[in-house]
Amino acid sequence: RFECRGFGTAQHLLFLGIQIAFLSVCSAFFGQPFFAQSVITSMLHVLSRSMPNQQVKWLIFTVPYWTLPYGLMASDVLQAGSAAAALPHVMGILSGHLYFFHKNIWPKVGGEDWLFPPQFLSRKLDGAGGGDDRSKSKESISNALKARKKGRGKKLGGS
């Protein structure tokens, strides 16, 4: 079985490609010329579903992370004074849910995770793609910390 990572540059590129493809179709259908706000909302939706009970600050409120995309949508609707301002957010939430469902929920109920980047893309963007990537990065950080110069330092403004 192919072991795939749920993170990394290749996976992020795949996520963006899926979002752009889906949102291009939706934007044409709904007559939305731009969908950058929808891509941002889809990223926010996927991240908020990954850790839904995390508390985040939004304006002056502390809210659960899963409510943030909806709060931003409500904020845009109130600022615009029209319910039509919710359309980019709704498209983003739907496209983010499409990705999240097929990447996280469907495999847990017995389905196959088909949202993984091609092997050549993983090798090119994420390096070797072996299982010890985290240990390599920890070792690299450890070596960098050991190699830095330690000394007394200099007083700011002094000579």
Q: Where are the alpha helices (DSSP H) in the chain?
A: 9-30, 36-50, 68-80, 87-100, 106-108, 119-126, 133-147
Q: Which amino acid is present at 93?
A: I
Q: How far apart are the first and last CA of the chain?
A: 63
pLDDT tens by residue, 126-137: 875 555 556 676
156 pLDDT exceeds 90? no
Q: Which of 44-48, 52-56, 116-120, 127-131 has the lowest mean pLDDT?
A: 127-131
How do residues 58-83 score in pLDDT, each as one tens digit? 888 899 999 999 999 999 999 999 99
Q: What is the mean pLDDT of residues 23-28?
A: 90
Which residue is listed with tokens 């830095």? 148
Residue 24 CA to residue 125 CA, distance in Å, equals 25
The sign of the torsion formed by the CA atoms of 138, 50, 79, 22 equals: positive
Would you state the pLDDT for residue 2?
40
